[in-house]
Structure 1
Amino acid sequence: MKPRMEFWKIAPDAYKAMLGLDGYLHGSGLAASLLELVKLRASQINGCAYCIDMHWKEARAAGESDQRLYGLDAWREAPYYDERERAALEWTEALTRITDGHVPDEVFEAVRPHSSERELVDITWAVAAINAWNRVAIAMRSVAGSYRVRSHAGS
């Protein structure tokens, strides 16, 4: 598979705006491991090979275990995710699968006790951002396997 075009060169301001949102999220106070789990789970749902490759590598670089990454697709049945992570993953799935009936009130009420309002808004932005990145990467046929991990000093 060959990429369709270098979208970041064609619309650099849009690309920079998305990078700005990612920069905000990495400085938001949310744990890097939680952000990467959310990004990886949404990418799995959307079938974005490039983003799965990227966020798997980023999660490992941030200290995530192989076991938790391998089990992510079946997180409900795996005992190694805490309640906060489970809530974030539930929220991620509801937002990513928004055409399945929007985001039910019962999901919101179940997720809400595990994060502050600010954290829930930040997780929502993270899910919105990764869904946008997935769609761009899929549309432009970004090639999986070429991603190189950024520095995680201080993550």
Structure 2
Amino acid sequence: MKARMKNPAMLLNVNPVIQNMMTSIYQSGISVDLLEYVGLRVGQMNNCQLCIDQSLIKAKDNIHTSNQIEHVLDWKETNTFNESERVALEVTEAITKLEDRYNSLPDELWSKFEGSFNEKERAALVLYISVMNMFTRINVATRQITADWA
């Protein structure tokens, strides 16, 4: 498979802006390990092989995530993740699917989200999930097969 075009973020020179946003997310205090699980789940849900591969490569090099990363796909059936990680993965699925417009992330789940993360962490997770969805959609639509955005 060949890429249909150069990465759109590179073509329009928006990569520095995206990287600044990612830096803010990573500096928010949210667990970087959790971001790895969330990013992988978005990639899985959106069938982005490049995203999945990149998540697995990063996670396998991290002693904290190497065991858990293999269970992201079946997170609902395992006891691998703690309660806050499970809430984050559930929120990830709700935001990625957007099945019911503004009710896609139900109030009950939002309450669990509020109970598991402070406001800054919630902001970081919502932004990260949204950015990862953008990346997966760009990669799938344009058939990006290499991590050529640096």
Alignment correspondent of 1:5: 5
The one of 127, 141, 144 aligned to 1:142: 144
Cα shift readout 1:91-112 (whole Å, capped 9, x = no counterpart): 1111111134521111111222
Preserved contact between residue 90 and residue 111 of structure 1 (Cα < 8 Å): no
Cα shift readout 1:91-140 (whole Å, capped 9, x = no counterpart): 11111111345211111112221111111111101101100111111111
Preserved contact between residue 59 and residue 66 of structure 2 (Cα < 8 Å): no
1:1-155 mapped onto 2 (5 Å cutoff): 1-7=1-7, 8-12=9-13, 14-101=14-101, 102-143=104-145, 146-147=146-147
Preserved contact between residue 41 and residue 89 of structure 2 (Cα < 8 Å): yes
1:66: Cα distance to partner? 4.1
Give runs of ≥4 in structure 1 deviating > 6 Å: none
Q: What secondary structure sits across from 1:103 in the alignment?
A: coil
Q: What secondary structure sits across from 1:56 in the alignment?
A: helix
Q: Letter of the aligned partner of 2:29 in structure 1?
A: G
Structure 1 100/9 Cα, relative in aligned 2: closer, same or farther at 3 Å?
same
TM-score normalised to the size of structure 2?
0.88
Find the aligned partners of 2:25 and 2:66 in 1 and give their Cα distance: 24
Show structure 1 runs of 5+ residues with no match: 149-155
Show structure 2 runs of 5+ residues with no match: none
1:88: Cα distance to partner? 0.7
Backbone CA RMSD of aligned residues:
1.9
Structure 1 29/62 Cα, relative in aligned 2: closer, same or farther at 3 Å?
farther
1:65: Cα distance to partner? 4.4
TM-score normalised to the size of structure 1?
0.85
Q: Letter of the aligned partner of 1:114 in structure 2?
A: S
1:63: Cα distance to partner? 2.5
Count of residues paired in the alignment: 146
Cα shift readout 1:62-88 (whole Å, capped 9, x = no counterpart): 324444222111101111101111111
Find the aligned partners of 1:49 and 1:24 in 2 and give their Cα distance: 26
Preserved contact between residue 4 and residue 140 of structure 1 (Cα < 8 Å): yes
Identity of aligned residues (%): 28
